[in-house]
Each structure stands twice: as structure tokens, then as C-alpha cells.
Structure 1
């Protein structure tokens, strides 16, 4: 296969692959092997696919340093003067700025800066800043047209963007973590899920952990979000700040779009982090996507150690999804791109950690990332225990409790069933969470006759197309069964404190209706919502695929479900409904004790702090790891 076998002879593509697919695979293979393309080859290729530009982005710094500034500058100059493709021009301008090159006289760059294409214009502004020519709003033919351009021009003009800045830093490591998709403060809506809850509580706990000076969580902000609030830095809790990286988009950006913002995102992250009075010691990224690759490059530019949380996907799903006749070539291309990103993040990282799998370890990672075995003498990466924050009830908990229980009780009362079981499901409305499969399983198995189903997630206000599609599939699943429709309650996403309040209220033995929690996901790498339900005292059922089985033991402290089909999930729901009160009391006692003693955000913070301390050695990073010519930093008052 061209992706992994270094063979430069041209072969006819097979199995739906095009000549361009084969060429891209060979280039990725060369970069994996350390054979980066020369500057002329880099300049010829940016007009190709976004996947190609990702490979060039990843290899550009090594190319510039291996072949020298003179050759690289001449190649970029030639490319800029030879092409009119906006994507290629923007890419070359950004790569010149990233390595401190000055390929054109300022007057020529100004012509790009005054053009109509936004990506080219913004890249030219960033390059002018690298020249030492700050850009002022209104200069030239284009002034700022929206919130993103105002923030960008303010940054280039050295104007503070972060209010009062970071203050009160105690001695220790300054760590950053990333959550680039979804809104940090809205779990359950759009792309925001359990990761926002996890990183919120982890950042708070890290700031209180010995050896850690402070924590920053990196998020993104699109144009509408910048219009509402142009400040880029907010304090979430003592010692924990949220830093917003601007994205030139009219909506929150999903993983399939992040590649369009990769170069700009790397610039924003490097400029904002590099301008802090307190240098970042460690940057921790999760997910194998273009956003993480951009942050890995930013970490290199500011001299921070990189920690990467690796998972078996996307490597594992290559055979599961594509080793079948008629596999969709577009899906194969996307997953091969993600495999390349994951491979490069593993290669770049100073420390790779995993998420415990079914058996409690990370040995599966060694099968998918053999380079890890070479670095660790065959030892699997560590798996820091993820965990939940201590329960903090909302300020108006009694009123919120009555409102939430009132909605559930109203559905139960309308069914005329004196003692139904409440099945609770919490999560963002997304195909991987399979709420539609859950509803089908619930109706087709007949479980709707003995229970009511409460699904919490999503927001009708967001207009998210994925959420709309999931709601439509749920409605279709109950359309032919009026009885099931009456027993189904769809609640919008709730703040985490209210979700945990509802779970505790449903678990109250004084309640007239018993309750169970069911996670219907195809798989969960970890399953924070599952842990929260266990901690609340609910009998909890989770998917057998993924990492849930390493803490949930079937029949002991919960149930494991085969969620692969409506029929198998329906059989699991029947088991869940058959659990009696005495058996439930034993299960929930074991589950709650396990979570409270082992899976807490405080324990996770302690382990992560040890990893961060172990990889941090700023003195061993040579000074030439940065750009050839340093760009002016955006000033963030501290």
C-alpha cells in the first residue's frame, strides 16, 4: 500500500483510488519516513486538495530548515508570482510567515493584503506583521469588515485583546489543554459533549494541584461569537483561564472543516500563547484532527512540550469501515487523512497517553502505532484515570429539581401506569450517540409499555443540521406507535450541574418511580456521562465497545449492552428493566464507591501533573526550534 510501503515507482491506482490519491499516499509515506519534500515540490502542490496542504503544513518547517532560507524563499517567491489560486496563495503566505521568510517586497504583499479574497487578505496581513509592518484598521483598500477582522487587526496592531489578562500565577508549570470543537459552556449542544465537562473540571483541579501554576483551556470562537464578545481571555476559576482562538467562520467549526483554518489557527495559538508573560510549559491536545496538528505546530513555535491523548481510532475503523466491497472512496480518503494526522501527532508528542480500553490498558495502541513500541521498549502508554468533578448543586436546586421532576412525572402520569421505570439518556444528539437506535430498540422490543424514556441533549435554537437530522429520525421511530410517543420525553441540553441534579433526584429511593440510566452510544472511549450516572446512584448500562468495560462490570456494578443493532440493544433494555430493587441497591452501591474512590477529577489532575512534570525540560529545547525570524507577538497584559 502506497501509504506505508516506500516505493517511488508509479503504479496504476486500484479499488477506486485515483492517480492523485496514490501520489498523496506516497507523499505521506515519505514524510513519515523523514524524507520531506524540497521547497520547489512544496510550492507546486498547494493548489491540490486540503489533504495535500496538511502534509505540506506538517513538513514545512523541516523543509525550510533542511534546504535553507535562500532556496525556500526563492521557491515561495516563484510560487506566489506564478499562481492565482487563492488557496495556494494564502497557504504560501502563511508558510512564509511561519518560518520568518520575506519572499516579496512589502509593496507586493500589500497588493495581496488589499485583495477581495478573505483568506489571502488575512494571510498577507499576518505576513506583513512578520515583516515588522503592523497593520492598522482602515489602511489600504480594506478596513475591518466584521468582528474577526477587527480582532485580527487589533492583534497585529499590538492592541490588548484579553482584558485584565492573567495574574496571580503561583510557582509551577503553566499548562494548556485544548477543546477546539463545541462550546465550552454548553455541554450537550451541537459539538459540545462530555469533553467540555471533563476539561472544565480538570482545568479547575489542575489549578489547585501542587506543582501546577495555572491552566489555560484553548477553545475557538467564530465570527458571531466574537461579535458578542471580542475579548479572547476569560477566567473560569482561580488559576484556570479560557483562551479563545478566533476562527473566520460564520458558525462553530466541525472536524471536517478545521483543515480550512489550520494555518490561521496555528498562528493565533502561537501568537497568543507566545505573548504571555508566563511561558507555556506543556500543551495537551486530544483528537487526531487538523486542529490538533495546528496546535502541535504552535507548541513547537513557542517551545512548549506536547502531550497527545491517542485512541485506537481512526486506525481501528479502517478495517471495520472500509475492508468491505463498495467502500465509499470519500470516506476512505477522510480516514486515511486522520490516520496520517494521528501518526504525526504521535511522532511529534513528547508524551503519548491513552484511554484505558476494555481490559483496562492501552495495549491496542501498540498495534496501531508501532512507533510507540520503539520509543517505550514495548511498554504501552499510560492511561491517566479520567474522572468526574465533585457534585456541586445549582444555586436554585429546589426549584430546578421540581421543574425537572415535574416534566418527567407529567409524562409518567399521562400514561396511566402506576409504577413505570424511567430510562434516562444524556448526551449530544449525534449519530455516534445513537439516540435514534435507542428509541427504535425501546419501541420494537416492547420496553415502551413498561417504561418512559427521557432523552436529554441538543438545542432547537442552534439550528445544527446534525441535531435536526437526529430529531427527525427519533420522530420517525415513534411515528407508528402513539403509545411510545406519549411515553417519550425530549429535553434540551442542560448544564452539567442540572443533569447531575436530575440524576440524583431520579435515584432517590423515596421516589414513586424507579429509574435507570442507559448509554446507547455505538462505543465510548471513556464515557464521562456513564460515570456521572453511576456516581449519582442510578443503575447504569453502557456499551460493550470502547472503554466503559474497564470500570463497569456486567452484572456487578451495572450492565454492558450490545448497542450495534436495535434488536441487540432492545434485549439489553429488557435486562435492565428486569433488575429488581434489591439487586439494584447492590449494583449502585458498588458503582458509587468505585467512582468516588478512583475516578475523580482531582485524582486525574494529580496523575496528569506528574506526566507534565516528567516531560517538561525547557532547557533541552534548542533556541533554533522557533521560526527563523521571530514575528511580533500579540501583547496580552499579565
Structure 2
């Protein structure tokens, strides 16, 4: 199809996700039809913001046609340069992204440096574009960075400029870095960035590289890395539920342990695969002192924390840590001497940085792909919140396009792609993401798992306490919380939810649904999660929405307990207590509720089911693959408070019907299908296969996102 016909089809197509998928075809057409600049420019200036973004990326794909500045490529460079100064923020973002795939355009350096000073995703994309141009335009870029350093006094901005100097080549960049590193009047964070970059530049390598030696012998155990930089992960799971420390932190700790234990437990099933001898879990450092050195835990599970200079109070802040993340990940992997595979999840800065490092090192990447943010885009579009006319404005805040593209490219380029089960998996990934998962050599559905033994121990203690046995520390704490309730509310069952205080998790929607007077009289609501002492921006937003529904001074009087995050084992015991009750304070037959806008799988839901609780969960996503409606739980539209309220009311009634039979069925299902050990055995085989194929397949290919 021609550019004109594709643009017309995209304007008339039925959904925003289809526009995202069609963008690649439009770019291919523009590459073959370089005279289409005028048609694409008209689309860029149009009111359909989604098509405007696609058109801008198509312009970036118009090939260079020699030195003629008046040719099609020259016209494309001029369009991108103009977009870098566009008053629409989303156009500046995508212009910086597109610039990275083109040859240096000197008039565009100044606006790229301006975006760099702003930070966030815009700053990272500008940084990557400038790095892509360093071979042919390093001196010119260094000159612009030097001018910016003369005018910028804010330390975080100066640090970003200094980091970018470190990505350049040549003596002028090294001289500038040395000057900053030795300047005692400079902020410590800036001098540290200069020293890190200077050390790398002196080695002639702006991105330190891990190395992977030749194939091990058949009997050599594998070393596997797994990464999530959105959380501080420790073996005790002490910060789960605070900030971005959600279920993935619990998963990685339990999975790392199970991979090592599974070498024995699953030896018969996977005798042809090397055992997993070491697992390295890489996460964000709790402070700037984190240096990436791996701290060993018993059994070969090591934890490495990467010091990130920018505190992440909102999702946008994380992108400013890209260079530091890349350097830290490279050093953490290089310190292992051998890493046979790395497993990445999430479309975030840590995954992007780790992909770059793994590609340079030749380490096979396993990627867990989910239709996120694709499913969220679809949901918001169906609700009328996202439209063609406002998509770009929302994209500037939530970065839908970049994250969606990163998911698709990683899913196709990884050594192996793991998929989370969902009710219509193949159809959803084809419809939302545009990938065909028929090839079992590339795509494998793998259910996430929980450590059922942790839940079993919690159930045993809660059952004994309900029968009069002395309570342990966790249950005594819960008893103290329930004693804050007024006498007339004691003895009601618990409606409990465990998770982060984030809009996607829908905690404020749960409160809104529960706040109906009739429902309030039937149960108390316990929300476990969030950093209440130092809330992040997302947590503060959720707390404000909750406070608008229930006066914070009247929470206990109305039966609402918001207690902040607790360690995973404590949350497990409280979930179990909701099933059995606490004599005189909470009736048995409570209900677990997940109010997430989307839930790709739902580890906390599985934990609640393993404990024997009746669950309320989102209709969309993974829970539909394992919840038996009206027997083990209810699937509902959790984005709507009215629908969620009705489901809770029905759930409270069903929870008391044959509770022991339901609990046994739920626990058996979780144990048989969703054990962490089952997950670990499957992944161990995938890791071994990906490593064996590395020698034959060569390095992973580059990503368009990295262009």
C-alpha cells in the first residue's frame, strides 16, 4: 500500500492499538516512497494525534539520498528538526526518538540538548540520539553540551549533561570530563558521573561490557540473572507493597530460590538440561551507596543492587537513570564472570538498559511479554478516556507508544519469549500487540507461581489461633489493628486487599465500592500496601482519592484500616486470618478483593486462593484462566465501582457456602498449576535451551527502539 492509502486506512481504523501496529507498515512504505514527505507532514499537523505520531516515525525512516539538503532525506531532517521544537510535547518526544535512527543533523543538536536538560523519557531519548551521532558529530555535540553546562546550575541537569559527555568520543569529551571530575566546586553527583564516564571513556568504551565465555560443558551449572530496577529487592521481602515493590519482588525472590532448589526437585524431568547453579537478582539500590556488588544469600542466590542517582517519585523519573542503570548492570554482570542467560520483564528503563548490555555481551535474553500497555490503551479507549484527538497528550504523560513498541520488539527479538496465560492469549496478542505466537521455539506460555508452603504455614497458624492457640507476632499485630475498631464493628468479616497504592491497582476504587453504607455494615475493609510515612506521588494520589471518600480521621470508626506495606509472610498470615477470623474481632469467611484496572496474572489473588479465601478479581487478564466463577471467586469489571460493589456483596454471601470444600479446591488448583517450583522447572529448561542456541544464532539483533 502507498503512504497515502495507509494514512487513510489508519485514520479510519477502529482502534488505537491498530494504529500502533500499522505504524510499522507506514514506516516501511515511507522508506520505499521517499517523496511522501508532504503527505506525512500534513498528517503530522492534523488533529488525529495517534496518526500524527505514526507519520512522524515514518518520516524518520526515509532513507538518506546523499549530501543534497534539498532531497527527500533533507526534507525529512527538516521535518524532524521542526518537530523537536513543536509546542506539542508528544511531538518533541517522538522527534527525539526518530532522530536516533538518522545521520547527524547539526541544527537538531541544540533542541536535543534542550530536551536532555528536561530529563525523563524525553531526556533519555535525546541522550540516545546524541549517542547514536557521536561517531560523526562528537565535537559538535560536546560544544553544545559545554554551552549548556555554562548556563545550567541545577545539579541533576548538570549530571545528565555530564553523563552525555561520557557517551561521546574524542579528546574534547575526555578533557571536559576530567575538568568536571577535578572541580571541587562541582556537586558530588556531577563529579561522580564525570568520574564514571571518564573511566569508561579512557577505556574507549562508553558502555562497560560483561563477557560470556564459550559454551560450558554439559555438566556445568548455569548462572542466570533476573532483573527489576523498579524495586529494592531483598531476600526477606521487607519492602513488598511499598512504592513499586509489588508482586514481582516476591516472585523474583521465590523464583530464584526455586530455580536452585528445582535443580534437585526437577532433575528427573529435565535431566538433559544443565542445572541452575547460581541466580543473580538485580534490583534498584536502596541508596546511592549501592555499587552493584552481588551479596550472596544461602544456596547460590545472590542479590546485586544498582545505585540509581535519580529518586523515582513518579514513573517518568526512572528514565533519567538510563545511563547509570546501563553501567551498573554491565558491572554487575561482568562481576559474575559468566552469565548464561538473563530474564527481563516489564517495559521499563531497567529492561531497556539490560537489553543493551546483554546484546553487547552476547548474553541470551528471555523476555516475559504481556499486552501491557496495550490492554490498558484498549480499556481506556472503550471507556472514552483515550481518543484519537487526545492520545498524544496522554502519551506524553504515560508513554504508551514507547512502552508498547518496546514490548513488541523484545518479544520478537529475545532468544525466547515467555507469555503469561490469559483466557484468549493468542487472539489478544495478535489483536493488541500484533505478534503471532504459533512458533513454540520462540513463545512459551508459563504461569507464574507462588510458594505454597508459605501459605500453608500461614493457614495452619491462623486456624490454630482461631481455635484458641496463642497467636504469633503477625496475628498479634492484626489483633491490635482490629482493636482500634469501635465495638459495634468488631466481629464483622474482613474484606482484604494486598498491593501497591497505585491507580492501576485500583485501591481507591475498592474503597469507593465498599463505602456504600449497606456494604459497610457487612464487613470491615483492610488494605495492606503503600509507604504511608513517605508516600510516592502515585501513593499520595491514591490516598487523596481515598480520603475524599472516607475522612481519614473517621477511618476506624467506619471500618476502614489502611496499614501500609508489610513483609510477604505477614500479609500471608493476615490473608489466612480473614478466612478463619479472630475471635471477638473478625468473623470468619472473609473475602479477598483485587481492584486492579488490569491484572496480567495476579500473584496476590493466587495467594488468597491458596489460603482458602473467596476472591473478587478483574475480568480482563490472567485471573479468568484460573478462577471458577461463583465457586472460587467472581470476575467483574473492576474499573467500575458499582460493578465491583455488586461483586463484593455477592462474594460475601458465597464465601460462607461450603467454605472447606472451596478452600480445598482452590489450594489444590494453585498447588498443581501455579507452584513456584513448577514455574522454575519450566524456566530452567528455557534458559538452558536459549544458552545452547546462542553459539549457533550469534548476538541478539538490535531494536528499532535502540535505533
TM-score range, shorter chain: 0.7 to 0.9
Deviation at 1:56, TM superposition (A): 6.8
Residue aligning to 1:358: 423
Residue aligning to 2:472: 399
Residue aligning to 1:191: 244
* Structure 2 segments unaligned to the other structure (5+ residues): 1-6, 8-21, 31-35, 64-96, 150-156, 209-218, 264-274, 462-469, 703-707
2:139 to 71, 77, 98: 77
Deviation at 1:312, TM superposition (A): 0.8
Whole-angstrom distance in 2 between the partners of 1:109 and 1:172 = 42
Deviation at 1:260, TM superposition (A): 1.0
8 Å contact 1:281–1:618 — kept in the other structure? no
- RMSD between aligned alpha carbons? 3.9
* Residues 85 and 179 (structure 1), Cα distance of their counterparts in 2 relative to 1, 3 Å cut: same
Residue aligning to 2:66: none
Whole-angstrom distance in 1 between the partners of 2:379 and 2:565 = 32
2:220 to 159, 162, 171: 171
Q: Note if 1:14 corresponds to 2:46.
A: yes
2:175 to 103, 107, 114: 107
Whole-angstrom distance in 2 between the partners of 1:19 and 1:324 = 11
Residue aligning to 1:471: 543
Number of matched pairs: 572
2:695 to 591, 615, 619: 619
Deviation by residue 1:487-522 (Cα, 9 ceiling, x = unmatched)? 222222111111111222332379571222111222
Q: Note if 1:206 corresponds to 2:250.
A: no
Residue aligning to 1:218: 282
Residue aligning to 1:47: 113
Q: Note if 1:280 corresponds to 2:339.
A: yes
* Structure 1 segments unaligned to the other structure (5+ residues): 65-71, 135-154, 157-169, 627-638
Residue aligning to 1:268: 328
8 Å contact 1:54–1:259 — kept in the other structure? yes
2:670 to 570, 576, 595: 595
5 Å matches for 1:138-149? Answer: none
For the residue of structure 1 that corresponds to 2:592, the secondary structure is strand
Q: Which has the higher contact order (CA 8 A, sep 6+)?
A: 1
1:316 to 369, 372, 375: 375
Whole-angstrom distance in 1 between the partners of 2:48 and 2:548 = 35
8 Å contact 1:415–1:487 — kept in the other structure? no
* Residues 118 and 364 (structure 1), Cα distance of their counterparts in 2 relative to 1, 3 Å cut: farther
Whole-angstrom distance in 2 between the partners of 1:120 and 1:209 = 45
Whole-angstrom distance in 2 between the partners of 1:218 and 1:562 = 35
5 Å matches for 1:153-552? Answer: 171-184=220-233, 185=237, 186-210=239-263, 211-221=275-285, 225-227=287-289, 232-249=293-310, 251-252=311-312, 254-277=314-337, 279-321=338-380, 323-324=386-387, 327=390, 329-333=392-396, 334-359=399-424, 361-370=425-434, 372-373=435-436, 381-392=443-454, 398-407=471-480, 409-410=482-483, 414-415=487-488, 419-444=491-516, 446-479=518-551, 485-508=557-580, 513-514=587-588, 515-552=590-627
8 Å contact 1:218–1:243 — kept in the other structure? yes
Whole-angstrom distance in 1 between the partners of 2:413 and 2:323 = 17
For the residue of structure 2 that corresponds to 1:181, the secondary structure is coil
* Residues 125 and 423 (structure 1), Cα distance of their counterparts in 2 relative to 1, 3 Å cut: same
Whole-angstrom distance in 2 between the partners of 1:255 and 1:110 = 32
Deviation by residue 1:380-429 (Cα, 9 ceiling, x = unmatched)? 93221111113345999933244134135425661256x52221111111
8 Å contact 2:138–2:170 — kept in the other structure? no
For the residue of structure 2 that corresponds to 1:257, the secondary structure is helix
Deviation at 1:609, TM superposition (A): 0.8
8 Å contact 2:166–2:201 — kept in the other structure? no
Deviation at 1:456, TM superposition (A): 1.2
Whole-angstrom distance in 1 between the partners of 2:223 and 2:179 = 40
For the residue of structure 1 that corresponds to 2:453, the secondary structure is coil
Q: Which moved more, 1:513-522 or 1:479-488?
A: 479-488
8 Å contact 2:110–2:144 — kept in the other structure? no
Whole-angstrom distance in 1 between the partners of 2:524 and 2:447 = 34
Deviation at 1:458, TM superposition (A): 1.6
TM-score if structure 2 supplies the norm length?
Answer: 0.72
8 Å contact 1:445–1:571 — kept in the other structure? no
Deviation by residue 1:151-204 (Cα, 9 ceiling, x = unmatched)? xxxx99xxxxxxxxxxxxx93211111121122231111111111111110011
Deviation by residue 1:179-234 (Cα, 9 ceiling, x = unmatched)? 21122231111111111111110011112232212111111125xx245x667422
Whole-angstrom distance in 1 between the partners of 2:700 and 2:600 = 38
8 Å contact 2:254–2:676 — kept in the other structure? yes
Whole-angstrom distance in 1 between the partners of 2:492 and 2:667 = 24
Whole-angstrom distance in 1 between the partners of 2:559 and 2:452 = 32
For the residue of structure 1 that corresponds to 2:365, the secondary structure is strand
Whole-angstrom distance in 1 between the partners of 2:655 and 2:191 = 66
Q: Which structure has more helix as a fraction of its residues?
A: 2
For the residue of structure 2 that corresponds to 1:95, the secondary structure is coil
8 Å contact 1:28–1:340 — kept in the other structure? no
